[in-house]
Chains A and B, each alone.
Chain A
Amino acid sequence: MTPRESQSLFTLDLLRPALLGSLRKLHPRHQVRNPVMFVVEIGAVLTAIALIYQVFAGKAFGGGNESTAFTATIAIWLWLTVVFANLAEALAEGRGRAQADALRAMRTDSVATMEDGTTRAAHELHRGDRVVVVAGEGIPGDGTVVEGIASVDESAITGESAPVIRESGGDRSAVTGGTRVLSDRIVVEITQEPGQSFLDRMINLVEGAERRKTPNEVALNILLASLTLIFLLVVVTLQPFAAFAHTTISTTTLVALLVALIPTTIGALLSAIGIAGMDRLVRRNVLALSGRAVEASGDVDVLLLDKTGTITLGNRQASEFIPMPGVSEVELAEAAQFSSLADETPEGRSIVVLAKQYGLRERELVGGSDTPVFVPFTAQTRMSGVDMDGTQLRKGAADSIAAWVRADGGQTPPELDAQVARVAGEGGTPLTVARDGRVLGVIYLKDTVKEGMAARFDRLRAMGIRTVMVTGDNRLTAAMIAKEAGVDDFLAEATPERKMELIRHEQAEGRLVAMTGDGTNDAPALAQADVGVAMNTGTQAAREAGNMVDLDSNPTKLIEIVEVGKQLLITRGALTTFSIATDVAKYFAILPAIFALTYATSAGGRGPLDQLNVMHLGTPQSAIISAIVFNALIIPLLVPLALRGVQYKPVGASALLRRNLLIYGLGGLIVPFVGIKLLDLIVHNVLGA
Chain B
Amino acid sequence: MAQGILQIACFCALIVAVVPLLGGHMARVFRGEHTLLDPVSGRLERGAYRVLGVDPTRQQDWKAYARAVLLFSAAGWLLLFVILRTQTLHPLNSGDFHSAPWDVTFNTVSSFVTNTNWQFYGGETTMTYVSQAVGLTVQNFVSAAVGIAVAVALVRAVANRRQDTRQDTPTDPNAGTIGNFWQDLTRAITHVLLPIAFIAALLLVGQGVLQTLGATAHGVARGPVASQEAIKELGTNGGGFFNVNSAHPFENPTAFSNLIELFLILVIPASLTATYGRMVGNRRQGWAIFGAMSLLFVISVAVVFAAERHGTPAQQLAGLVGGNLEGKELRNGTTMSSLFTAVTTVTSCGAVNSAFESLTGIGGLVPMANMAYGESVFGGVGTGLYTMLMYVLLAVFIGGLMVGRTPEFLGKKIEAREIKLVSLGVLATPLLVLLGSGVALATKYGAPSIYATGPQGFSETLYAYMSQANNNGSAFAGYTGFLQPNAGNLDSNGVTFADIVGGLVMLGGRFLPIIIVLAIAGSLTGKRVAPAGAGTLRTDTGTFGGLLIGVVVLIGALTFFPALLLGPVVQGLTTHLF
| Interface residues of A, Cβ cutoff 8 Å to B | 215-216, 218-220, 222-223, 225-226, 229-231, 233-234, 236-245, 261, 295-296, 298-299, 301, 461-466, 509-512, 565-567, 569-570, 572-574, 576-577, 580-581, 583-584, 587, 591, 595, 598-599, 601, 607-609, 611-612, 648, 652-654, 656-658, 660-661, 664-665
On whether A295 and B406 interact (CB within 8 A), knowing A510-B411, A657-B543, the answer reads yes
Report the nearest A residue to B562, measured CB to CB: A238
Partner pick for A577 among B398, B530, B534, B570, CB 8 A cutoff = B398
A607 to B578, CA, bound (A): 13
Residue ID in chain B nearest A652 by CB atoms:
B534
29 residue pairs A–B, Cβ–Cβ below 8 Å: A216-B415, A219-B419, A222-B420, A233-B431, A237-B435, A240-B438, A244-B441, A301-B530, A301-B533, A301-B535, A463-B534, A464-B533, A465-B533, A512-B530, A567-B404, A574-B401, A577-B402, A587-B561, A591-B562, A598-B566, A599-B455, A601-B574, A608-B573, A609-B565, A609-B570, A612-B573, A654-B543, A657-B402, A658-B543
Task: Tell me the minimal C-beta distance from A163 to chain B in angstroms.
Answer: 38
- Taking a contact as CB atoms under 8 Å apart, the answer to whether A461 and B403 are in contact is no
- How close is B436's CB to chain A, nearest CB, in angstroms? 10
Known A567-B404, A664-B402; 17 more pairs at CB < 8 Å? A219-B414, A233-B430, A244-B457, A301-B530, A464-B535, A465-B535, A466-B533, A565-B404, A569-B405, A576-B398, A576-B401, A607-B570, A608-B576, A653-B535, A657-B399, A657-B544, A665-B550
For A225, A570, A572, A658, the residue with the greatest tally of chain B CB atoms inside 10 Å of its CB is A658
Cβ contact within 8 Å between B531 and A509? yes
- A interface: dominant SS: helix
A240 touches B442 (CB 8 A): yes
* Chain B neighbourhood of A231, CB < 8 A: 558
Instruction: Return chain A residues, CB-CB under 8 Å to B534.
Output: 461-464, 652-653
Please determine whether B566 and A595 come into contact, CB atoms closer than 8 angstroms: yes
Q: Is B322 an interface residue (CB 8 A)?
A: no
Cα A658 to Cα B458 with chains together (Å): 40
B48 interface contact, C-beta 8 A: no
Chain A residues whose C-beta falls within 8 Å of the C-beta of B431 in the assembled complex: 230, 233
Nearest opposing residue in chain B for A660, CB measure: B402
Q: Report Cα–Cα, A219/B420, bound state, in Å.
A: 7
Q: Is the CB of A241 within 8 A of B538?
A: no
Chain A to chain B: the 6 pairs with minimum beta-carbon distance, closest first: A464-B535, A573-B401, A566-B404, A240-B442, A226-B423, A573-B402
Chain A's closest residue to B561 (CB) is A587
Q: Could you tell me the distance in whole angstroms from the C-beta of A281 to the nearest C-beta in chain B? A: 15
User: Using a CB-CB cutoff of 8 Å, which residues 524-558 of chain B contact chain A?
Assistant: 528-531, 533-538, 541, 543-544, 546-547, 550, 554, 557-558
Is there contact, CB below 8 Å, between A653 and B538? Answer: yes
Q: A237-B438, A608-B570 known; A581 and B537 CB under 8 Å?
A: no
A657 & B403 in contact (Cβ 8 Å cutoff): yes
Name which residue of chain A comes closest to B578, CB basis.
Answer: A599
Say yes or no: A234 contacts B434, CB within 8 Å: yes
- Which residues of A lie under 8 Å from residue B427 when comparing CB positions? 226, 229-230
**Contact A599 B454, beta carbon cutoff 8 Å:** yes
In-complex Cβ contact of B415 among A219, A243, A461, A576 (8 A) = A219
Whether a CB of chain A sits under 8 angstroms from the CB of B133 is no
- Enumerate chain B interface residues (CB-CB to A < 8 A): 394, 397-407, 411, 414-416, 418-420, 423-424, 426-427, 430-431, 434-435, 437-439, 441-442, 454-455, 457-458, 462, 528-531, 533-538, 541, 543-544, 546-547, 550, 554, 557-559, 561-563, 565-566, 569-570, 573-574, 576, 578
Q: Judge whether B558 and A261 touch: CB under 8 Å.
A: yes
Give min CB distance, B232 to chain A, whole Å. 33
Chain B residue numbers with a CB within 8 Å of A463 are 404, 534-535
Question: Chain A residues near B397 (CB, 8 Å)?
Answer: 219-220, 223
Report the Cα distance A464→B578, complex, angstroms: 60
Per the bound structure, the CA–CA distance linking A241 and B576 in Å amounts to 20
| B574 CB contacts on chain A under 8 angstroms | 599, 601, 607-608
Q: Is A245's CB under 8 angstroms from B543's CB?
A: no
In whole Å, how far is B441's beta carbon from the nearest beta carbon of chain A? 5
Look across to chain A and name the residue whose beta carbon is closest to the beta carbon of B574: A608
Residues of chain B contacted by A512 (CB below 8 angstroms): 530
CA distance A351 to B40 in the complex (A): 85
Chain A residue contacts of B528, Cβ below 8 A: 510
Is B423's CB under 8 angstroms from A222's CB?
yes
- On whether the beta carbons of A570 and B403 are closer than 8 Å, the reply is yes
Provide the bound-state CA to CA distance between A464 and B397, in Å: 19
List of A residues within 8 angstroms of B434 by Cβ: 233-234, 237
Q: Is the CB of B435 within 8 A of A245?
A: no
Query: How many angstroms from the CA of A298 to the CA of B547 in the assembled complex?
Result: 22
Of chain A, the residue at the smallest CB distance from B436 is A237
Interface hub of B394, B543, B544 (most chain A Cβ within 10 A): B543
Is the CB–CB distance between B541 and A654 below 8 Å?
yes
Identity of the chain A residue whose Cβ is nearest the Cβ of B411 in the assembled complex:
A510
A595 and B550 alpha carbons, distance in the complex (Å)? 26
Within 8 Å CB of A569, what residues of B? 400-401, 404-406
Contacts of A230 in B (CB 8 A): 427, 430-431, 559
Residues of B near A465 (CB, < 8 A) are 533, 535
Chain B minimum-CB-distance residue to A658: B543
Tell me the minimal C-beta distance from B555 to chain A in angstroms. 8
In this complex, what residue of B is CB-closest to A666? Answer: B550
Q: What are the residues of chain A within 8 A of B538 when measuring CB–CB?
A: 653-654
Contact A657 B537 (CB under 8 A): yes
Kindly state the separation between the CA atoms of A565 and B403 in the bound complex, as whole angstroms. Answer: 11
B456 to chain A, nearest CB (A): 11
CB <8 Å contact, A652 and B535 = yes
Of all chain B residues, which has the CB nearest A247?
B566
A408 to chain B, nearest CB (A): 59
Q: Tell me which residues across on chain B come within 8 A of A601, comparing CB atoms.
A: 574, 576
Question: Whole-angstrom distance between the alpha carbons of A298 and B401 in the complex?
Answer: 10
Q: Tell me, rounded to whole Å, the shortest Cβ–Cβ distance linking A641 to chain B.
A: 14
- Which B residues touch A587, using CB under 8 A? 558, 561-562
Which of B414, B415, B566 has the most A CB atoms < 10 Å from its CB?
B566
Chain B residues, Cβ within 8 Å of A219: 397, 414-416, 418-420
Minimal Cβ-Cβ distance residue in B for A586: B558
Q: Would A612 and B411 count as touching, CB distance under 8 A?
A: no
CA distance A461 to B533 in the complex (A): 9
Q: Which residues of A contact B441 (CB under 8 A)?
A: 240-241, 243-244
Partner of A244, one of B403, B423, B547, B566: B566
Contacts of B558 in A (CB 8 A): 231, 234, 261, 580, 583-584, 587
Report the bound CA distance from A242 to B574 in whole Å: 18
CB proximity of B414 to chain A, nearest CB, Å: 7
Contact check, A298 vs B424: say whether CB atoms are below 8 A apart.
Answer: no
- Cβ B438 vs Cβ A580 within 8 A: no
Contact A566 B405 (CB under 8 A): yes
User: A247 CA to B196 CA in the complex, in Å?
Assistant: 51
Nearest CB in chain B to that of A462: its residue: B534
Residues of B within 8 A of A584 (CB): 554, 557-558
B537 and A612 contacting across the interface, CB-CB below 8 Å: no
How long is the Cα–Cα vector from A463 to B576 in the complex, in angstroms? 59
With A219-B397, A233-B435, A234-B559 already in contact, the answer to whether A656 and B402 are too (CB < 8 A) is yes
Q: Kindly provide the distance from the CB of B213 to the nearest chain A CB, expressed in whole angstroms.
A: 46
